[in-house]
Chain A
């Protein structure tokens, strides 16, 4: 990965580390270890793209999200947002940065203050930054935002409990786009929603991204949702990025055995053949991030692990096409064919561009005014 600032990149993350101390004792606290939640990761986010981050619970994806918008202070490393270091800035600099980077949270129930009206929740960013001081002005802007995310502007004075889960998530999105940020970090934005509502929120995010030219970092554990949303995907395992690749390449020809295992585990909504496909099931659980395995962290569960994997840590290197993977023995074409649903390889071309907007007019457009 080339270092140095590059105009095409909105965000450059270098050697980012976050360790949470494990302490013992109540009055005299002594650090006896650290949970290595994020351990030396580097990646770039290009302007206007959607980067997906996937991985199992505890792999550090949410910690990464919080570090990017500096809701957590990193242990070390740099996060350059348009050349400015997010990790180093003081309070005032951060305030400026937060106008340009915003976050949508996972749980639409606990991320909205139940005592505030929707109008004041969405208007809060303006209050914080001292914008649109006239209340009529602010109200008008908030109602525009509500309309934009598909909420009825007349519900300005309602409280969060009066809305359904999907609508609450729309409130969270409206709040996040209020200041017209350049970067939106969405941490599992749909995992708490019902399937029929998930699609509404996913389509909303995609449309907003197109209209506002947003750069989106989309974090999820659902691989099919990530494939649908993202241009590029980073796969994390135990605090490390193990593979970064454009979606089409990653899903048709994953190189890291962990990515292969994740894809192989996705249930396919097609009964014929699904039962018979040869699955590569991972055995056991993710090791503790307080005491991760030496060298390649995946070697304890990896079907391809060899002597070398427990001795030398593999670096994130270009394996094929635009696919960066950290593995000594990446998957070969024949292994991918054997383990992944045949459907995957057959549609990898993904030439289909029709229907992009064609389906959009299905039933709405009546919500305005």
Chain B
């Protein structure tokens, strides 16, 4: 792991607002190596976008506190001066944003916007920059690049605009590409094209990629490692195979079980995660996931779990207070179609001393009445 290109160490980002301090990112660590793809998965408000914006220094503001280190190629991005960071941003680290329409300037030709990316960081003439722009459009598979380079963003379709965004990000051959929900605004057919393009570009250019998404299907196809974020923290981190093969955290189970899939029987009931994500200003005590967790025990409301390697697999970490053995049994049960309520006895049995208390606390009781909005038992 010594040759990590990007290494985020105990990063914390807090925003001071009128309502209180928002703990957007709360002590996350991860690494990305050259040629690897990391997926960061989580719901809106889980801190996944803030963590990568911080990597690019885009969260610097008077009301923001940033702690921890972001080591990139031997430099700490957190402590770099703004002008030093500008030399890296768009050059060595590039980012693709979710909405390609609002990320492109509607008044300027696509070619001019691409040339700007080149001219900012390279000492080249306009003609050379333009030639580079055409070359980039060709690289991302836009037909007829010589003509398209002189068109405006509104003349491109959604998928083509996202290709332009990718071309712009690749202008200076970055070592790290951060793609924030690169396909969320696109149709499935176009999504498949864009994912194939990213995969292909990585093979050819050998960069590292971080893909931020809420769609586990997207990350399954193109990532090597996955970090699952919840309420500003990483709750599980493992190889893509392990996340799908033997997920360890109840939140990850929730994500996997709440999306309908093409390869499961059609009548299979979806198991939603009850309630909704917590406020990042007034966070729950103990394990942040406990108000929504079907396997909660009394002690989980007090003890804050650490992200630790699970027994038997040092490459797979989870922040959960249940034992690895119990988690394995619950996941197997879920796989067989049992409901979380039916599997709760596994948790209670494990911890005899608190059984008396736990018995009174059905998972539903932990969810406030307002939030117990999941499907009615018919």
Instruction: Please indicate whether A and B come from the same complex rather than being unrelated chains.
Output: yes
Q: Interface size of A by Cβ–Cβ distance < 8 Å? A: 77
In the complex, 22 of the A-B residue pairs with CB atoms within 8 angstroms, ordered by the A residue number, are: A57-B158, A148-B376, A150-B375, A155-B370, A164-B276, A196-B254, A196-B273, A197-B276, A199-B272, A203-B270, A207-B378, A221-B187, A227-B266, A247-B266, A267-B221, A270-B263, A271-B244, A281-B192, A359-B271, A361-B341, A362-B271, A366-B365
A268 in contact with B373 (CB, 8 Å): no
Question: Could you say which residues of chain A place their CB within 8 Å of the CB of B264?
Answer: 347
The answer for the CA separation of A361 and B338 in the assembled complex, in Å, is 11
Interface string of A221-239 (1 = CB under 8 A from B): 1111101110000000000
Tell yes or no: A31 within 8 A of B by CB.
no
**Contacts A207-B378, A269-B216 given; does A352 touch B192 at CB 8 Å:** no
In this complex, the member of A151, A228, A264, A352 whose beta carbon has the largest number of chain B beta carbons within 10 angstroms is A228
**Contacts A195-B259, A271-B221 given; does A266 touch B375 at CB 8 Å:** no
Identity of the chain B residue whose Cβ is nearest the Cβ of A349 in the assembled complex: B265
B374 in contact with A200 (CB, 8 Å): yes
Question: Could you say which residues of chain B place their CB within 8 Å of the CB of A197?
Answer: 272, 276
Interface string of A326-369 (1 = CB under 8 A from B): 00000000000000010110010011111111111111111100
**Contacts A200-B373, A221-B188 given; does A274 touch B378 at CB 8 Å:** no
> Smallest Cβ distance from A218 to chain B, in angstroms?
12
**Contacts A350-B267, A352-B265 given; does A265 touch B191 at CB 8 Å:** yes
A362 in contact with B274 (CB, 8 Å): yes
Tell yes or no: B87 within 8 A of A by CB.
no
A341 in contact with B262 (CB, 8 Å): yes
Tell yes or no: A92 within 8 A of B by CB.
no
> Smallest Cβ distance from B175 to chain A, in angstroms?
23
Question: Could you say which residues of chain A place their CB within 8 Å of the CB of B365?
Answer: 366
A362 in contact with B241 (CB, 8 Å): no
Closest 6 CB pairs of A and B: A343-B263, A267-B217, A352-B265, A228-B260, A199-B272, A203-B375
In this complex, the member of B191, B241, B264, B294 whose beta carbon has the largest number of chain A beta carbons within 10 angstroms is B264
Identity of the chain B residue whose Cβ is nearest the Cβ of A258 in the assembled complex: B189
Tell yes or no: B372 within 8 A of A by CB.
yes
For residues 265 through 289 of chain B, which have their beta carbon under 8 Å from a beta carbon of chain A?
265-274, 276-277
A364 in contact with B376 (CB, 8 Å): yes
Question: Could you say which residues of chain B place their CB within 8 Å of the CB of A362?
Answer: 271, 274, 294, 339-341, 363, 374
Interface string of A34-74 (1 = CB under 8 A from B): 00000000000000000000001100000000000000000
**Contacts A281-B196, A363-B372 given; does A196 touch B191 at CB 8 Å:** no
B160 in contact with A285 (CB, 8 Å): yes
B364 in contact with A363 (CB, 8 Å): yes
A285 in contact with B159 (CB, 8 Å): yes
Candidates A207, A227, A228, A268; contact of B221 at CB < 8 Å: A268
Tell yes or no: B59 within 8 A of A by CB.
no
Question: Other than the known A199-B270, A247-B266, A279-B192, what 8 A-B pairs have Cβ atoms closer than 8 Å?
Answer: A56-B188, A170-B373, A265-B191, A268-B221, A275-B199, A355-B267, A360-B376, A364-B373
B260 in contact with A224 (CB, 8 Å): yes
Question: Could you say which residues of chain A place their CB within 8 Å of the CB of B269?
Answer: 203, 355-360
The answer for the CA separation of A56 and B267 in the assembled complex, in Å, is 25
Question: Could you say which residues of chain A place their CB within 8 Å of the CB of B373?
Answer: 150-151, 166-167, 170, 200, 364, 367
> Smallest Cβ distance from B309 to chain A, in angstroms?
21
A271 in contact with B364 (CB, 8 Å): no
A56 in contact with B375 (CB, 8 Å): no
> Smallest Cβ distance from B224 to chain A, in angstroms?
9
Candidates B44, B256, B294, B376; contact of A207 at CB < 8 Å: B376
The answer for the CA separation of A358 and B341 in the assembled complex, in Å, is 10
Tell yes or no: A294 within 8 A of B by CB.
no
> Smallest Cβ distance from B223 to chain A, in angstroms?
8
For residues 5 through 45 of chain A, which have their beta carbon under 8 Å from a beta carbon of chain B?
none
Candidates A195, A270, A341; contact of B244 at CB < 8 Å: A270
> Smallest Cβ distance from A291 to chain B, in angstroms?
15
Tell yes or no: A126 within 8 A of B by CB.
no
Identity of the chain A residue whose Cβ is nearest the Cβ of B218 in the assembled complex: A267
Candidates B216, B267, B272, B338; contact of A352 at CB < 8 Å: B267
Candidates A155, A261, A272; contact of B189 at CB < 8 Å: A261
**Contacts A224-B260, A279-B192 given; does A363 touch B363 at CB 8 Å:** yes
Candidates A170, A347, A351, A363; contact of B294 at CB < 8 Å: A363
For residues 269 through 301 of chain A, which have their beta carbon under 8 Å from a beta carbon of chain B?
269-272, 274-275, 279, 281-283, 285-286
Tell yes or no: A253 within 8 A of B by CB.
no
The answer for the CA separation of A360 and B268 in the assembled complex, in Å, is 11
> Smallest Cβ distance from A83 to chain B, in angstroms?
32
For residues 148 through 165 of chain A, which have their beta carbon under 8 Å from a beta carbon of chain B?
148, 150-152, 155, 164
For residues 320 through 374 of chain B, which have their beta carbon under 8 Å from a beta carbon of chain A?
337-342, 363-365, 367, 369-370, 372-374
**Contacts A56-B189, A57-B158, A203-B272 given; does A364 touch B262 at CB 8 Å:** no
**Contacts A196-B258, A364-B377 given; does A267 touch B195 at CB 8 Å:** yes
B271 in contact with A150 (CB, 8 Å): no
For residues 184 through 212 of chain A, which have their beta carbon under 8 Å from a beta carbon of chain B?
194-200, 202-204, 207, 210-211
In this complex, the member of B264, B341, B376 whose beta carbon has the largest number of chain A beta carbons within 10 angstroms is B376
Tell yes or no: B43 within 8 A of A by CB.
yes
A355 in contact with B337 (CB, 8 Å): yes
Identity of the chain B residue whose Cβ is nearest the Cβ of A248 in the assembled complex: B266
A357 in contact with B263 (CB, 8 Å): no
Tell yes or no: A104 within 8 A of B by CB.
no
